[in-house]
Chain A
Amino acid sequence: MSHHIVEVAGLSYTYQDGTEALKSVAFRIEHGAAVAIVGSNGAGKSTLLLHLNGYLHPTGGRIRIGDVMLTRETVAEARRAVGMVFQNPDDQLFMPTVAEDVAFGPLNAGLPPDEVGRRVTAALDRVGMGHVRDRPPYRLSAGEKRAVAIATVLAMFPDILVMDEPSSHLDPRSRRRLIELLKSFEHTRIIATHDLELVVEVCSRVIIMDSGRVVADGQMTELLNDESLMLAHGLERPHSLRHLHPH
């Protein structure tokens, strides 16, 4: 099974206004890994994520999802493999009810209605949101919206989950639930976030980006404990790593 591998080589992207958002980015993420992409605002994290499901086409370099080289022709295949959870769940939820929203992806994949129904129930149960299935998404709380947004992606049975700031706008309890949920997934997970405590709990590997480049790529504790590296790129060493002893 090499389905769940993401390989990026020499990836560059320049926006139309001339901003160089990505400069020769390269990494390889193995099956089942949980990898955090961290970096200050404007480091290129979101731009990178938008390449992984073929929304943006690189100005240079290449991307491989599983065995498939990502091109304009293989975009549909890549989108099936890569489930993308957006930063703002309001952008992701657009159907009249939660259940219909979760069904949107599977229906587009041309699955028969009873299979769609099973997937909707399973995905909502997986994120603990079965009880809101008939409610309109815009009436949910931020935590519920986030969970439903994740369910919409799970219902498509992706191999790889890509998430942009999954813990933003969440209260402590919803954030805790999200962390437990993320830890329980067996998918390959790529998470762009500023929430370094979430990284400590969920991810084993960290890629640090700055000004469109990968400046460090390695084991989570090693990189996040490197105070000078973190400060140099507008980050800070997570509190929980400073004090491994109880308070």
Chain B
Amino acid sequence: MRETMNWLDIGQMDDMGRMDTPVHRLDARAKAMVTMVFIVTVVSFGRYEVSALMPFFLYPAVLLSLGRIPPGAILKRILVAAPFALVIGVFNPFIDRQPAIVLGPVSITGGWLSFASIMLRFALTVGAALTLVACTGMHRLCSGLEQLGCPRVFVAQLLFLYRYLFAVAEDGGTMMRGVELRLTGNRHIGLGVYGSLIGHLLLRSMDRAERVYLAMVARGFDGEIRVMQKTVFRPVDIAFVCCWTVLFIAARVWNPAAELGRLLAGRLP
């Protein structure tokens, strides 16, 4: 459990969100819109599509490098979520055994292709969402979503979910330390102990959540999140949205990787 906490290390995400780079200075709404277009485009590809997805790695790569976010920080978080996508895609190679591509002696079945496609799409969409959070900060992102017209209840839920994540991670960490300090010699904790730990963690988190809420209510919280400065949509934000949207649509309509392949193949004698 402690390992997972370290892997998620939400404090690091928070720090990255607070940095000041050209990407961070872009309006949260612009980044949220582009990320949504990105996700919809990536998801809209056919189930066997692999090569056409490749150009889409450009978007997170550009944001990460301009935003000075270490790619490793995003990659390890994608890995944490990877088992979910694996479970969804892992049976495809066994079910769909029709050869889809034959390269000399090697033939690749449709199942493997669709499995690869699922994993790629998973990496792209989750990576883009994580990049968005790392380049914007959860708080700015939430107020951006609200300004975009996202229902207030939804935005508040998202923000609290994020806020309580810190509280739960902290409580979980403290409890695990307590357990480890009393584990002498025997490194195995029984399943029953885990059950009781998780139950306790739930109860503690609920108490904690109530106290945090109480503190918010005491300072006049009424369900609306207010920020000190409302952001302005500058020309650079409009340009950001337009350029990426055009690029995504172009990459959806033409397959640059295949075009390149055809071009190279055409030149071959």
Min CB–CB distance A129 → chain B (angstroms) = 17
B226 at the interface (CB under 8 A from A): yes
Comparing B90-98, B104-112, B150-158, B207-215, the segment that makes contact with chain A is B207-215
Number of interface residues of B (CB under 8 A): 29
Closest to A111 in B: B226
Task: Tell me if A's interface is mostly helix, strand, loop or mixed.
Answer: helix
Report the bound CA distance from A10 to B227 in whole Å: 42
Q: Are B228 and A91 in contact (CB under 8 A)?
A: no
Report the bound CA distance from A136 to B212 in whole Å: 16
Q: Are A96 and B137 in contact (CB under 8 A)?
A: yes
Contact with B along A105-124 (1 / 0, CB 8 A): 10111000100110000000
B11 at the interface (CB under 8 A from A): yes
Q: Are A107 and B208 in contact (CB under 8 A)?
A: no
Q: Are B208 and A55 in contact (CB under 8 A)?
A: no
B249 at the interface (CB under 8 A from A): no
Q: Are B219 and A152 in contact (CB under 8 A)?
A: yes
Pick the contact of B218 from A79, A95, A103, A107 — CB < 8 Å? A79
B229 at the interface (CB under 8 A from A): yes
Closest to A108 in B: B220
Closest to B159 in A: A94
For chain A, residues 40 to 90, give those with C-beta under 8 angstroms from any C-beta of chain B. 50, 53, 55, 76, 79-80, 84, 86, 88, 90
A12 at the interface (CB under 8 A from B): no
Contact with A along B136-160 (1 / 0, CB 8 A): 0111000000000000000000000
Q: Are A136 and B163 in contact (CB under 8 A)?
A: no
Query: Which A residues are within 8 Å of any B CB, using their own CB?
Result: 50, 53, 55, 76, 79-80, 84, 86, 88, 90-92, 94-97, 100, 103-105, 107-109, 113, 116-117, 136, 138, 152-153, 156
Per CB-CB distance, the 5 closest pairs between chain A and chain B, nearest first, are A108-B220, A105-B219, A107-B226, A91-B211, A92-B215
Chain A residues lying within 8 Å of B228, measured Cβ to Cβ, are 100, 103, 107, 113, 116-117
B250 at the interface (CB under 8 A from A): no
Of B208, B222, B227, B228, most A-chain CB atoms within 10 Å = B228
For chain B, residues 189 to 241, give those with C-beta under 8 angstroms from any C-beta of chain A. 208, 211-212, 214-222, 224, 226-229
Min CB–CB distance B209 → chain A (angstroms) = 10
For chain B, residues 75 to 131, give those with C-beta under 8 angstroms from any C-beta of chain A. none
Closest to A88 in B: B211
Given contacts A76-B220, A94-B216, A96-B137, contact A136 B211 (CB under 8 A): no
